[in-house]
Amino acid sequence: MASRVPSAVVAATGLVGGYGVARWTKKRQLGGAVLAVAGAAAAQQWRRQAGGRAAGALTAAYVAAFAGSHPLAKKVGAWPSVFGVAGAVALASWAVADRKSA
């Protein structure tokens, strides 16, 4: 399908969108839902494109990026932290899964 959104974009959008929704609505659970839905969608794409092991590793990276953004935010600020970890996950996703299907 030519209009398919790359998994790198889905994952990065989940991290940035989850934080943005939580911040702007002041409802952390709503941001968490955005994060989870995008993560699940990305994981399905990763599994299809690169297999179960790669999907597991990329899912772990996604969760670690979310967790790691919190202490990083204390050093560089919230938005720079979120964009930094989202970029790292997007790059990993592209390298492992999207590049092969391009």
Q: Which helix (H) or strand (E) holds 6?
A: none
pLDDT at 36 over 80: yes
Q: Is the Cβ–Cβ distance between 50 and 93 less than 8 Å? A: no
Q: Is the Cβ–Cβ distance between 20 and 28 less than 8 Å? A: no
Distance, CA of 19 to CA of 30 (rounded, Å): 9
pLDDT at 67 over 80: yes
Q: For position 100, what pLDDT does the model report?
A: 75
pLDDT in tens, 78-102: 999 999 999 999 999 999 999 977 6
What one-letter code names the amino acid at 52? Answer: G
